[in-house]
Amino acid sequence: MLKRLWVYQRERFPLDSHGALIAAFSASAIAFSAFARHAALPDWRPLAAGFVSSLLFFLLMRIADEWKDAADDARFRPYRPVPRGLVTLRELAGVGIVAGVLQLAIALAVTPRLVPLLLGVWVYFALMSREFFVGAWLRAHPVAYIASHMAIVPMIDAYVSAFDWLVARQPAPPALTWFLAVTFCNGLVVEIGRKLRAPADEERGVETYSALWGRLRGATVWCAACAATAGLATVAASRGSGMADGGFFAVLLAAAVGCGAAYVREPSRRHAKRIESLSGAWTVILYLTLGLAPFAVKAVF
């Protein structure tokens, strides 16, 4: 079973790529909170706890997707691990239960005051997994669908940031609101970026934004999400660390717009993959710039 789960991980939740993104995501939340409070960077223990908790949240979302998409996967994507029999939904449910137990154990080990926040995220996750009991309406309104599902990402970040401010028995810093807005928009960048495909790579039964909106509109919305993220990140940086990073974020945005324009001109697999790769790189660079870079600059100067 462990061998089968390892193969599943490699195909559906690759730790090598997801781990780097989630490490930047979680460490940045804790570091941004600490810097905004004018406190020292926490040691490795809350950083490690926040990383594992975040990783388990995203694993739970992957498992929930396997259940939600089971019928479509069996019909249109028989090559995926569940329909081809590599793992069963019941086995994945067991993995999800273990993940939840580990999250609870981590929260109790860090401070029991984290538990109510954890329960709050769990409740939203449960509602999201049931598509808020209005699944047909959400599927007919893709903007509402993606917004309702992306809301859990800043909720996870808010929870992880509490490994700093709540542990320190301090209120959450006001600048954290801007950071969470960045997290929401950045979630849109990643989600849309991974679902812009070349025409030859579109699959029957797979809802992508390039198929739903067309490549021009899809790329435009992706670039708009990048622009919103860059703008909010500039404000978050000025409020949280006092650093003016607008020029740096503008350079990142120019690269994203160039990538989107190339995809519109030539919707090839190469350009679609470049958008997906840039979305991941954008995430890592942005989070490290907001969270850990201020501490590095402070140490040097």
pLDDT in tens, 106-151: 999 999 999 999 999 999 999 999 999 998 999 889 889 999 999 9
The rounded distance, in Å, linking the Cα atoms of 195 and 189 is 10
Residue 268 φ/ψ region, left for φ over 0, alpha for ψ in the -120 to 50 degree band, beta for the rest: beta
This prediction has a pTM of 0.93
Q: In this model, does residue 242 exceed pLDDT 80?
A: no
Could you say which architecture CATH assigns to the domain 1-173? Orthogonal Bundle (1.10)
The rounded distance, in Å, linking the Cα atoms of 165 and 118 is 15
Tokens of 261: 């324009």
The rounded distance, in Å, linking the Cα atoms of 69 and 120 is 25
Q: In this model, does residue 256 exceed pLDDT 70?
A: yes
Contact 92, 221 (CB under 8 A): no
Q: In this model, does residue 244 exceed pLDDT 80?
A: no
**Among candidate residues 270, 278, 290, 284, the one with its CA nearest the CA of residue 18:** 284
Burial 137-176 (b: 16+ CB within 10 A, else e): ebeeeeeebbebbbebbbbbbbbbbbbbbbbbeeebbebb
